[in-house]
Amino acid sequence: MISKEKLIKISDVIWEIPKSYRSDMLVPARIFATERMLEEVFNDRSLEQLVNVATLRGIQGYAMAMPDAHEGYGFPIGGVAATLYPDGVISPGGIGYDINCGVRLVRSQLKINDIKDHLSYLAQEIYRMVPSGVGEGGELKLSSQDMDSVLKTGVNWMIKNGFATQDDARHIESNGILENANPDNISKDAKSRGLDQLGTIGSGNHFAEIDIVDEIFDEKAAGALGLWKDQAVVLIHCGSRGLGHQVATDHIRIMMGAMARYDITLPDRELACVPFSSPEGTNYFDAMAAAANFAWANRQYITWEIRQAWKKILGPSGGDLSLVYDVAHNIAKIETHEINGKKTKVIMHRKGATRAFGPGHPELAQEYQAVGQPVLIPGSMGTASYVLVGTQEGMKTSFGSCCHGAGRKMSRAAAKRSIHGHTLHEELLQAGIHVQTGSIRDLSEEAPQAYKDVHDIVDVVHQAGIARKVARLRPCVVIKG
């Protein structure tokens, strides 16, 4: 069990487990946290999992855990790792089961006061338009041919079919399409699970919200993102649904059977991995890319559904809903980073971690070049969410990566035991938060008390310099499964 005495304090918010801690570590491990927050991290296996990540073949720099880190499958959630391209390993545990779970922010042209009398109606209409809940399907039913096209082309399929614009695509990470996607590497079971799930949120911590921009920290960056105080915005959090989960399940099984051929031994079988350049590695990467495309298409279709609900309730006075940004936080990408003074091509694993590229990066839309990539950090439904931007310092410190949310501190079962859903629902309503959910009883699983303090989490990444605070959002309407 790792204790605080084993950690080296790099700064007030950066701690290191040295490579000497365990003989099989290939790089040190770093944790972004305050001294007080470290105590919560010691309560689960997340640091032990981080040390295990530091043993992966080809790992570069550091294995890293963001301040929202907690125990996951193989990797801690909030884990970041770069392995050398092309012969370092790729590990599905470093991406997660919900491939390209991510967040998108959509801005309106209205103040929240302009729509305050319509909030309950908007909540009901969005809930009607956007299916949510375990296994819940939507109205859009894909043919097998359309499914392959969505998997191959992502948001481009949405543009072609009138559910997205080119301007939407410009404001999505990777423009909403990973070009290496190969639908042939996705099983029939996975495809069948996704046939009716485009435009659906699912369950757990996924949601759609109407928020108010209640504080601006950086006027210049907020202006570049089109955000201003008291503005009504929409936040969407979901991923690749059952399709992505099945892709992970299928390929983890394949990798577990293949590791011996590549002489790979691991401290934890949940880290199942193979060389990226191997047939199993490239097949998984191309399948993961297809599932990521599906997730971007999913969030895009949800955006279209919300735009329809917005128009129905508010009419012409509602104006347009414009996409600020859409960012993934469960994904692997091929990126180039400076490591030990040398530009190095790596396989970036981000699991429960958000890409946070700094100003001037060629992948950013022109209007974001001067301020950096928008970074979206949702909190709990009763607290707040944040908009940040990436920094040049973060490109060096964390491979251009940031946290992805508040991070759980209480299991769903524990939350249900200690928090009553009906009481929570009433408390949220008293706080001015309209909640539409299919299960009041299960609402307690996502209670604010079940999560770490998002304000503390964001302060850490801001203080560490890996992302910079721009705006804080407060929820007014929450849609959940």
Residue that has been written with the tokens 């429960």 in this structure: 352
Instruction: Please state, in angstroms and rounded to a whole number, the distance separating the CA atoms of residues 359 and 392.
Output: 7
The catalytic position among 206, 404, 434, 462 is: 404
Q: Could you give phi then psi for residue 200, rounded to 5 degrees? A: -125, 150
Q: What is the dihedral of CA 401, 406, 410, 414, to 10 degrees?
A: -120
The separation between CA 84 and the C-alpha centre of its own chain, rounded to angstroms, equals 23
Strands (E), 150-305: 207-216, 231-238, 274-275
Helix (H, G, I), strand (E, B) or coil at 29: strand
- 97, 100, 143, 90: which is closest to 250 by C-alpha? 97
Q: Could you give the count of Cα atoms lying within 13 Å of 130 in the half-sphere of its Cβ?
A: 36
Instruction: Please state, in angstroms and rounded to a whole number, the distance separating the CA atoms of residues 375 and 382.
Output: 20
Helix (H, G, I), strand (E, B) or coil at 347: strand
Is there a contact between 21 and 40 (Cβ–Cβ < 8 Å)? Answer: no
Is there a contact between 101 and 330 (Cβ–Cβ < 8 Å)? Answer: yes
- Catalytic residue check, 434: no
Question: Which amino acid is residue 455, in one-letter code?
Answer: H
**Per-residue tokens: 445:** 């699983």
- By the 10 Å C-beta count (0-12 exposed, 13-18 middle, 19+ buried), 117 is classed as exposed
Instruction: Please state, in angstroms and rounded to a whole number, the distance separating the CA atoms of residues 238 and 136.
Output: 13
Is there a contact between 56 and 271 (Cβ–Cβ < 8 Å)? Answer: yes
For 85-94, b/e burial (b = at least 16 CB within 10 A) is: bbebbbbbbb
Catalytic machinery residues: 404
